[in-house]
Chain A
Amino acid sequence: MKKLILFLIVLSASLKGYAQSAATYTIKGIIVDTLNDAKLQYASITILRAKDSVLEAYTRSKEDGTFTAQVSDEGSYTVLVTFPSFADYVETVKLSPQKPEINMGKISMVTRAHLLSEFVLKQQIAAIKIKGDTTEYVADSFKVREGATVEELLRKLPGIQVSKNGDITAQGETVQKIMVDGEEFFTDDPKIVTKSLQAKAVDKVQVFDKKSEQAEFTGIDDGVREKTINLKLKDNMKRGFFGKAVAGGGTNGFFENQLMLNAFKNKRQLSFFGIAANTGKMGLGWQDRDKYGSGDNMQMSDEGYMYTTIENDGENIGWDGNYTGQGLPSAWTSGLHYANKWLEDKLHFSANYRYAKQNISTTGNTLTQYNLDTLQYYNDEKKSSFNSADRHGADVLAEYKPDSLSAIRFTANAGYKKGISKEDYISRSIDTAGTVFNNNERHNYADATTQKFNTTLSYKRKFKKKGRSLSAVFTENYNHTETESQLKSIVTSSITGSSYTIDQLKQNQSENLQLGGTLSYTEPLSKVLFLELNYGLSLNNNYSKRFSYNPNATGDYNELDSVYSSNYNFDVMTNKGGSNLRFVFKKVNLSFGGAVASTDFNQHNNFTDITYKRNFLNFFPSATLSIKPRKQQSIYFSYNGSTQQPTIDQIQPLKQNTDPLNISVGNPNLNQKFNHRFNLRYNDYKVFSGTYTYAGVGFTFVNNDISQAQYVSDNFIRTYQYVNVNGNYNGWGYGGWGRSIRKLDAHVGMNTNINFSNYNSYVNYIKNTNENRSISLGVNGSYNKDSLCEIELNFDVTYNNNYASINKAQTNYFTYNTRVNISFELPKKFEIGTEVNWNIRQKVVAFNNNNNVFLWNGFISKKFLKDNSLELKATGYDMLNQNKGFSRVAYGNTITQQSYNTIRRYFMLSLIWNFTKTAMGQPQNDNANILISN
Chain B
Amino acid sequence: MKKIILLVLIALAAKPTTYAQYTSYGKIEYERKSNMYQQMEDMAEDDEDERWMGQMKSMMPKFFLSYFDLEFNTQYALYKPGKEVDNKYKGWGTPPGTENVVFTDFENKTVTANKQVYEEKFLVQDTIRKLTWKIEDEIRMIANYKCRKAVTTMYDSVVVVAFYTDDIMVSGGPELFAGLPGMILELAIPRLRTTWIATKIELTPPQPNDLKEPTKGKKVTNEELYISLQKIVKKWGKWGNRSIWWSML
Contact = CB atoms under 8 A, between A and B. Distances in A.
A283 to B, nearest CB: 19
A743 to B, nearest CB: 10
B199 A85 contact: no
Nearest to B192: A185
B170 to A, nearest CB: 11
B135 A929 contact: no
Contacts of A929: 42
B55 A298 contact: yes
A333 B25 CA distance: 72
29 contacts: A36-B12, A36-B13, A36-B16, A40-B16, A46-B135, A46-B181, A55-B179, A58-B171, A58-B181, A82-B166, A84-B20, A176-B140, A184-B195, A185-B161, A212-B140, A213-B140, A213-B142, A217-B200, A222-B144, A224-B141, A242-B47, A295-B55, A300-B60, A306-B59, A404-B61, A686-B118, A686-B119, A916-B47, A925-B38
B9 to A, nearest CB: 7
B118 A932 contact: no
Interface in A283-305: 287, 290-291, 295-296, 298-300, 303-305
Interface string B74-106: 000000000000101111110000000000000
A919 interface: no
A226 B142 CA distance: 12
Interface string B11-27: 01100110111100000
A41 to B, nearest CB: 6
B214 interface: no
B125 interface: no
Contact of A214 (B91, B141, B180): B141
A694 B111 CA distance: 37
A80 interface: yes
Interface of B: 9, 12-13, 16-17, 19-22, 35, 38, 41-42, 47-48, 51-52, 55-61, 86, 88-93, 116-121, 132-136, 140-144, 146, 148, 150, 157, 159, 161, 166-167, 169, 171, 179-182, 186, 188-191, 193, 195, 197, 199-200, 228, 231-232, 234
Given A54-B134, A688-B228, A85 B142 contact: no
Interface stretch (A441-449, A629-637, A752-760, A807-815): A629-637
Given A298-B59, A304-B93, A631 B232 contact: no
Contacts of A299: 59
B51 A290 contact: yes
Contacts, number: 166
Identify whether the interface residues of B are mostly helix, strand, loop, or mixed: mixed
A188 B118 contact: no
B22 A84 contact: yes
B232 A189 contact: no
A188 B159 contact: yes
A53 interface: yes
Given A217-B199, A688-B119, A55 B17 contact: no
Contacts of B51: 290-291, 295
A632 B117 CA distance: 11
A300 B91 CA distance: 12
A186 interface: yes
Given A189-B159, A925-B41, A685 B119 contact: yes
Contacts of B141: 212-214, 222, 224
A33 interface: yes
Contact of A300 (B59, B120, B132, B181): B59
Which of A84, A242, A466 counts the most chain B CB atoms within 10 A?
A: A84
A466 B86 CA distance: 7
Contacts of B197: 213
B133 A54 contact: yes
Interface in A43-60: 44-46, 48, 52-55, 58, 60
A54 B55 CA distance: 44
B47 A39 contact: no
A828 interface: no
A880 interface: no
Which of B19, B93, B193, B231 counts the most chain A CB atoms within 10 A?
A: B19
A687 interface: yes
Contacts of B181: 44-46, 55, 58
A127 interface: no
A690 B144 contact: no
Contacts of B60: 300
Which of A185, A303, A687 counts the most chain B CB atoms within 10 A?
A: A185
Contacts of B9: 36
A501 B195 CA distance: 84
Contact of A290 (B52, B135, B180): B52
A217 B35 CA distance: 18
Contact of A630 (B119, B135, B148): B119
Given A33-B16, A42-B169, A303-B91, A55 B22 contact: no
A53 B134 contact: yes
Given A85-B21, A290-B51, A932-B190, A80 B89 contact: no
Nearest to B200: A217
Given A217-B200, A742-B232, 20 more contacts: A36-B16, A38-B16, A39-B16, A44-B169, A44-B181, A45-B181, A53-B135, A55-B179, A84-B19, A85-B21, A290-B48, A291-B48, A291-B51, A305-B91, A306-B56, A684-B119, A686-B119, A687-B118, A687-B119, A925-B38
B20 A185 contact: no
B58 A345 contact: yes
A183 B42 CA distance: 15
A226 B182 CA distance: 23
A609 interface: no
Interface string A262-289: 0000000000000000000000000100
B142 A214 contact: yes
Leading 4 A-B pairs by shortest Cβ distance: A304-B90, A44-B166, A58-B181, A687-B118
A867 B54 CA distance: 25
Interface string A153-197: 000000000000000000000001000000111111100000000
